Structure 1
């Protein structure tokens, strides 16, 4: 990571209110060192103000649709794109961080009270023809809805439960004390923490596990579905399990959307490799076991790789067409 990138990251942390006192002093010293530094800082502030997520006190609590929420994020992204090309290049890291906030940050401010020790969260959302949406639930679970999908969510201090009609990809935040339940007309699934796809559009509960395991119920029987396996069941038919050879092809409808939940870096690299079309190597066993949590949508894959390298504190370098992840903080090629 060069000095310019390090400064950019520090400014982003400062604007998020996540810096230490020493880092705040470092920012102040850097700004006062030259007029160019101050101009660069003010450029960051401009982007941040034009793309900032609304604060809870500014939000109407009339229930918005996911289209409304995504429209707000889209307008903020367009504000970034409207900047002069030179400024946009300088602030690429800031734009990627803002992009990573996405609709989930908006949904959290709209529907949860961060000052409350206990909360009750009940709502229903949906997508229309040709519409997809990403939503972060209060517990940190990320949901990607396919077109023509309805989702009802119920969560409190003891319960995590959703009713689904349609198709969705979920990255569930682990919580052994509150297993995550999915209810459909064709059966139920019980999750502790995993990533998986659920599809009810064909009149059955069709579930594919990408990471972790899910217990699926149908026909009076519960079976465990593991990573790389697909289960198909109905209310009166026991789940039938099969191995899926090409998981990525099955979830190709997600497009540029990616979500990781305590995912080993080896698996993160494999999924990025599939999307980017370039080999990504992680040979160090310790690095392969390092985990990552986060989600991205509508971002260039090169930017996602860059952000993953920074978040995982690994050095990413190009060797021909191959990207190698090695120990040490660094940036992607």
Structure 2
């Protein structure tokens, strides 16, 4: 597990106790967004903290007693440095004990796709994974329980094993499968699951809300819960195939899917809402795609700061 910068460790300690300020929360969110590995580490620490309740009820470590001791130290006006050291010791103690109890002596492997190319890998059980650019995955080398933690987007083709369900953890949910293929995208706003074959049990961690997602169904989990709909987006695997297909597709939807594929901000002028596009693009630079759209639909485009705007000339 990578080390935490000191200022992030301090903010994270406050965050886990619910004492962080809005400015500190912003710093933490920016640090998480800098690198998928940061987000993955945050999720691992959050998971350990949430699941350490049973551990902390043992005589090894009394969480309430420790926090009361910290509050008493503040009231007695003890030096802030001592308070910080004690807080850090409690925090490290929770992580160490919970980590030891949850994972034993298993060595964890963390793999990340670069920001310029997808990464294909085979897990120890034979399941295959394709990580989208920038995504990261973590799993125990022994892999006896077939459980991984994901940050970013990935395509899974899970090897069937009726005795050992395959589990994927995100910040919000747990996905459980026996043998199937699907894609999952987890980010700061939502988790989105699209099932290609088989079935996936999609469970929200906080509320335990559970939905079984079938082939050609998409499920989105956000602050409102889990919403299941038929798959209407034919390009949900375009990041893996390099192919974008539009069949009389509204221009605003085209712009949204191009934005996701090319990691750009592409918007349409409000007067284009009735324009539709029929075209197929295969691993083409965005400049070529925009030129083809321009010829096909009598539209034009221009760049404004970091945004590409489609409009009628």
Q: Is the shorter-chain TM-score for this pair beyond 0.5, marking a shared fold?
A: no
TM-score (norm 2): 0.41
TM-score (norm 1): 0.39
Query: Which of these two proteins has the greater Rg computed from alpha carbons?
Result: 2
